[in-house]
């Protein structure tokens, strides 16, 4: 199934003549891995970064104030990260994943499994919140697949519109 989602995303990117860059703070490069498993991905996939530490998030363009105010795992940080990687890589679209994969690191406010995924385009930024209950590996895999599904959703339903409705 993951190959199907990645292949579909790449096919739609090619069809629309768009490029993609990813920032994977909690999936450790899994989105990039799934994309590069598909032959020909280099036509549209610019590359990615794994900004695990906040210092690297800042280095690619996330404001320190965003991280201080909202934390590394938040809608605001995911959106900022998606915009930052888009600009940093000079891609048409930026896709970002930030979350708490587990088994530790969670709090009552931000439990293990909490993940935010954002897609930044020139006209808008879509962001989704997820809460998975699996182990570290399954949480990372769910997040990577959800990121690719958000990309496909954008390409099918939002790309040709003025702005993005949060559907």
Ordered by where they begin, the domains of the chain are 2-157 (3.90.950.20)
pLDDT at position 162 is: 63
DSSP string, 99-143: E--SSS---SSS-TTEEEEEEE-SS-EEEEEEE--S-HHHHHHHH
What are the pLDDT digits (tens) for 118-163?
Answer: 999 998 999 999 999 999 999 999 999 999 999 999 999 987 776 6
In this predicted structure, what is the pLDDT of residue 158? 83
Whether omega before 103 lies within 30 degrees of 0, making that bond cis, reads: yes
The pLDDT score that the predictor gives to residue 165 is 58
Residues 101 and 142: their CA atoms lie apart, in Å, by 10
The pLDDT score that the predictor gives to residue 160 is 72
Q: Which residues pair with 118 in a beta bridge?
A: 96, 127
Q: What is the model's pTM?
A: 0.94
For position 167, what pLDDT does the model report?
Answer: 44
Contact 35, 45 (CB under 8 A): yes
Strand order in the sheet with 20-24: 45-49, 20-24, 93-99, 114-120, 125-131
Query: What residues in the chain have per-residue pLDDT under 70?
Result: 1-3, 162-167
Query: How far is residue 90 CA from its own chain's centroid?
Result: 16
């Amino acid at each position: 199934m993951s190959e199907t989602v990645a292949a579909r995303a790449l096919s739609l990117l090619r069809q629309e003549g768009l490029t993609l860059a990813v920032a994977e703070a909690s999936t450790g490069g899994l989105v990039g891995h799934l994309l590069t498993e598909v032959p020909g991905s280099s036509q549209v996939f610019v590359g990615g970064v794994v900004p695990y530490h906040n210092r690297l998030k800042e280095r690619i363009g996330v404001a320190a104030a965003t991280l201080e105010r909202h934390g590394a795992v938040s809608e605001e940080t995911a959106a900022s990260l998606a915009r930052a990687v888009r600009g940093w890589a000079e891609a048409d679209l930026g896709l970002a994943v930030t979350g708490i994969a587990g088994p530790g690191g969670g709090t009552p406010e931000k439990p293990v499994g909490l993940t935010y995924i954002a897609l930044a385009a020139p006209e808008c930024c879509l962001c989704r919140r997820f809460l998975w209950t699996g182990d570290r590996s399954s949480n990372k895999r769910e997040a990577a697949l959800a990121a690719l599904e958000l990309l496909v959703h954008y390409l099918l339903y939002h790309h040709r519109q003025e702005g993005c409705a949060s559907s």
